[in-house]
Structure 1
């Protein structure tokens, strides 16, 4: 078997692994980010975060890139470790670790990215990678939305929201009748 053919198989396998990692990441991000959205809005108003953003805006592009990548270098492996903890019989510690890594990542990394986005996009290779990642994410989400699983999830979400709304109305009516 020629060496070139062996490398082609290895390359395909590595691409599949990379795709799987990106898919898992996008799915987890899509699930977890909305949970933390209220916290993000609150932290965006904190003086410390506003000062961090002002500091980042004054930096040159490659310094912003370092500030952006260093937290990623810590947070992303911590997320993988959290999933490992969950899978190895430590679900509570794993879930706490996962929640903290997402919270820190969303608060710190997202604020750094938002503050330095314009300067980061002046780094051509970084802008190309971001464009590719955003395009891949968008295609993945479009594909997911076309599946029966997505339709079932949307239907279930609407049903759950309706049940919760009805329960709130009943509890509100009961409280009004008792204490009103």
Structure 2
């Protein structure tokens, strides 16, 4: 019976790590942008002043609040609300990972000074390293990067065409 559960659990864990890994590429720039905003300076100083275990408690808040969004999104999709479920999942995951990423950046050393957190982070890092070393991951990253370059190029072409059409249709004064 024990063997029956190993494969589905491994597949679920792998899918979870892959989804989190993909979303982290989206949330890193957002987190860096938030870090540059002076509006959050007072909050940043307070977060940095916390000791290790209060930092861990604060780190857990976005996970505890936003992790239930995944089953909610799954329920919405299962009941036929595909767009609502997808939007719920995307917004919840981006919010969660952005908050977690920023809190981890601010309190990395304190969090890693907690032995259980350091062990869990080491395991997560090993899993992400294993996934990122797979050829399929590398191919997917290249595909996403190429698609991003194509979209940027097309957007710039669209903006140039729009600007040139405005210049052509200007009426003389």
- TM-score normalised by structure 1 residue count: 0.72
Q: Which has the higher contact order (CA 8 A, sep 6+)?
A: 2
Contiguous gaps of at least 5 residues in structure 1: 1-8
Q: Which runs of 5+ in 2 are unaligned?
A: 169-173
Give 1:174 shift. Answer: 7.5
Give the deviation of 1:121 after TM superposition. 0.8
Q: Which residue of 2 aligns with 1:40?
A: 31
Q: 35-44 or 133-142, which moves further after superposition?
A: 35-44
Tell me how large the CA RMSD over aligned residues is: 3.1
Q: Could you say which residue in structure 2 is the equivalent of 1:6? A: none
Say whether the 8 Å CA contact 1:120–1:126 is kept in structure 2: yes
Q: Does 1:51 align with 2:42?
A: yes
Q: Name which of 122, 125, 133 aligns with 1:131.
A: 122
Deviations, residues 27-57 of structure 1 (Å, cap 9, x unaligned):
2223333344443333223445333332222
Equivalent in the alignment of 2:68: 77
- Report the alpha carbon displacement of residue 99 of structure 1 after superposing the two structures with TM: 2.5
Distance 1:160 1:45 in 2: 24
The Cα shift of 1:127 comes to 0.3
Please report the TM-score for the alignment, with normalisation by the length of structure 2. Answer: 0.75
**Paired residue for 2:171?**
none
Which residue of structure 1 aligns with residue 164 of structure 2? 176
In the TM superposition, what whole-angstrom CA distance separates every residue of 1:100-139 from its partner, at most 9, and x where no partner exists?
A: 2123213322222221111111111210110111111110
